[in-house]
Structure 1
């Protein structure tokens, strides 16, 4: 079932609050809302939001830094495969 952007924002808020400076939470959520719109524009009418796995990759690579989030979110919309590879490399470092 499709959910609206307000509900996505509410669901993402706790995670963003854990990862970002409190002063940047709203900006990070705004950016993710824009990322959802860009994803929808690029990947068609059935893709209403950035997929959960891609969002996980983006947030991992952002490392709680708003500037990194901007850059990685843009890269994910352009070609999420590059972001996936970078995230997989990052995860491999932790094992």
Structure 2
């Protein structure tokens, strides 16, 4: 069953609220909505895959400007984001 963009937004909200300042939550959710749209245009999938979203949020580190840059990079080639995120995970473990 397909999930609509508003439902995705509500499902993502707790993760975004935990990572971003309260005054940036709506902007971050808006950006993820746009990222889903770009992902759909490029890959014909309705939303950014969960693992790619995990990578993006990890690398953004709660910084809205970083979220913008990393989201754009993820749509262009998510493999670069995966390698960077895996590197952060390896350093943190």
TM-score (norm. length: structure 1): 0.97
Q: In structure 2, how many angstroms separate the alpha carbons of the residues matched to 1:78 and 1:90?
A: 20
- Secondary structure of 1:88's aligned partner: helix
Name the residue aligned to 2:34. Answer: 34
Q: In structure 2, how many angstroms separate the alpha carbons of the residues matched to 1:83 and 1:59?
A: 10
Count of aligned residue pairs for this structure pair: 93
Q: How does 1:50-61 map to 2 (within 5 A)?
A: 50-61=48-59
Name the residue aligned to 2:64. Answer: 66
Name the residue aligned to 1:76. Answer: 74
Show structure 1 runs of 4+ deviating over 6 A: none
**Residue 25 (1) aligns with residue 25 (2):** yes
Q: In structure 2, how many angstroms separate the alpha carbons of the residues matched to 1:53 and 1:87?
A: 10
Instruction: Using the TM superposition, give the Cα deviation of residue 42 of structure 1 relative to its aligned residue in structure 2, in angstroms.
Output: 0.2
Structure 2 gap ranges (5+): none
Instruction: Using the TM superposition, give the Cα deviation of residue 11 of structure 1 relative to its aligned residue in structure 2, in angstroms.
Output: 0.3
Q: In structure 2, how many angstroms separate the alpha carbons of the residues matched to 1:15 and 1:85?
A: 22
CA offset digits 1:1-53 (Å, max 9, x no partner) = 21000000000001100000000000000000000000000002xx1000000
Structure 1 gap ranges (5+): none
